[in-house]
């Protein structure tokens, strides 16, 4: 009978972890479930937690169907004319903008980051100086990044104006004011901020490759560029997966950068999901929550390769 109560074993450890447990349950688990559940209701403002409110407001998938009928969220006019000559795979709206940003920022920052890491790995002089230069934008706020690039890319007095002034009269660079191109302008700003980080991850990955691989490749007479692309790159798969997941989750969250660079403009042509959701919190809460759930599902899909890598190897071992 004098066996200590197991509940009190390790009591300080449990007590100290209490904030973490509360955060996990209340914010991460319940918060997420709450958002998903109430995305099926027509609740307006400041709903609470009661099941009664949920049942009273239940509308099924109405928020989702309305959301995808909203042009500001997503509109693909040409895509329904499938099998006709007018068919085109071209969409506009917040969700397609996010996808555009995600795809381009991943492809460009990963390839540029890898290229820079390989160059940095050539036993160069002043490596620290280069690394400091590539990485400093990552220490800055998206708001700072956005305003600097908005100024550089402003057609009025920025790059376009300055190059025309130098004599190249026809030079045009007005992506930031062009509805079709504005997302690519934001991609430029995003790449400027994030590539140094990708480079740092890649460089760490390269440095982790066994020296013997290099010796073996050299003995076999494989040129360095092929060793990088065909031997080293596949060996860096864990780093690539991590980079992919981090860069993509940043792209899914994109908000501050757009607010600072264009504030969604011109018009709403560079709107992104987070901005759409935030702006609809007061007027259109149900739809906002539905849009949040869409982002959540997107993120879950992106996470699959990472989860398989992180938790798959444990079950194998």
Which residues, 86 to 125, sit near other proteins by CB under 8 A? 112, 115-116, 119-120, 122, 124
Q: Which is nearer to other proteins, 14 or 90 (CB)?
A: 14
Q: Which one of residues 4, 19, 60, 234 is an interface residue with other proteins (CB under 8 A)?
A: 19
By beta-carbon proximity to other proteins, the closer residue of 233 and 246 is 246
Q: Does 201 bind other proteins (CB under 8 A)?
A: yes
The residue count for the chain:
317
Residue 134 DSSP SS3: helix
Stretch in the footprint of other proteins (CB under 8 A) among 53-61, 74-82, 226-234, 250-258? 250-258
Q: Is 258 in the site for other proteins (CB under 8 A)?
A: no
Would you count residue 303 as binding other proteins (CB under 8 A)? yes
Task: Give the C-alpha distances (Å, rounded to integers) separating 94 from 108, 266, 297.
Answer: 21, 13, 16
State which of residues 93, 264, 273, 286 lies at the interface with other proteins (CB under 8 A).
Answer: 273
Measured from the CB atom, the residue of 140 and 283 that comes closer to other proteins is 140
Task: Tokens for 196, please give them.
Answer: 């140094």
Written as one string, the DSSP assignment of 99-126 is HHHHHHHHHHHHHHHHHHHHHHTTT-TT
8 Å CB contact between 114 and 234: no
What track of x and - describes contact with other proteins for positions 143 through 182 (by CB under 8 A)? xxx-xxxxxx----xxx-xx--xx----------------
Contacts of 204-209 with CB under 8 Å at 24 or more apart are 204/239, 205/117, 205/236, 205/238, 205/239, 205/240, 206/117, 206/118, 206/121, 206/232, 206/236, 207/121, 208/239, 209/235, 209/236
Which of residues 187 and 200 has its CB atom nearest to other proteins in the complex? Answer: 200
Is 253 among the residues that bind other proteins (CB under 8 A)?
A: yes
Structural contact between residues 302 and 249, judged by C-beta atoms closer than 8 angstroms: yes
Supply 110's token pair: 């990963």
- Considering only residues 29 to 48 of the shown chain, the ones binding other proteins according to CB under 8 A are 29-32, 34-35, 46, 48
Q: Which is nearer to other proteins, 24 or 79 (CB)?
A: 24
Q: Is residue 221 a contact point for other proteins (CB under 8 A)?
A: no
Stretch of residues binding other proteins (CB under 8 A), selected from 51-59, 172-180, 215-223, 241-249: 241-249
Shortest Cβ 79–other proteins spacing (Å)? 25
Q: Largest alpha-carbon pair distance within the chain? A: 94
Site for other proteins in 58-77 (CB under 8 A): none
H-state helical runs in 121-181: 127-135, 142-153, 159-165
């Amino acid at each position: 009978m004098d066996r200590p109560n197991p509940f009190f074993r390790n009591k300080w450890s449990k007590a100290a972890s209490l904030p973490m447990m509360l955060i996990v349950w209340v914010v991460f688990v319940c918060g997420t479930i709450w958002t998903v559940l109430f995305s099926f209701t027509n609740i307006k403002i400041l709903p609470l937690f009661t099941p009664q409110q949920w049942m009273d407001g239940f509308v099924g998938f109405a928020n989702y169907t309305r959301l995808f009928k909203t042009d500001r969220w997503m509109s693909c006019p040409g895509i329904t004319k499938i099998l006709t000559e007018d068919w085109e795979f071209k969409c506009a709206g917040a969700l397609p903008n996010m996808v555009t940003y995600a795809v381009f920022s991943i492809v460009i920052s990963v390839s540029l980051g890898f290229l820079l890491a390989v160059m940095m790995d050539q036993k160069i002089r002043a490596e620290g100086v280069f690394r400091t230069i590539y990485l400093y934008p990552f220490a800055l706020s998206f708001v700072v990044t956005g305003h600097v690039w908005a100024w550089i890319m402003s057609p009025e007095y920025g790059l376009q104006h300055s190059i025309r002034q130098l004599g190249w009269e026809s030079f045009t660079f007005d992506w930031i004011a062009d509805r079709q191109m504005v997302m690519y302008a934001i991609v430029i700003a995003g790449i400027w901020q994030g590539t140094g980080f990708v480079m740092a991850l890649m460089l760490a990955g390269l440095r982790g490759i066994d020296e013997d691989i290099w010796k073996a490749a050299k003995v076999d007479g494989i040129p360095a560029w092929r060793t990088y692309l065909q031997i080293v790159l596949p060996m860096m798969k864990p780093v690539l997966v991590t980079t992919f997941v981090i860069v993509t989750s940043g792209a899914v969250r994109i908000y501050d950068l757009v607010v600072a660079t264009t504030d969604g403009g011109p018009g709403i042509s560079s709107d992104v999901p987070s901005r759409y959701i935030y702006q609809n919190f007061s007027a259109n809460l149900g739809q906002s929550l539905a849009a949040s759930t869409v982002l959540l599902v997107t993120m879950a899909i992106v996470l699959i390769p990472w989860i398989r890598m992180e938790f798959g190897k444990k079950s194998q071992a």
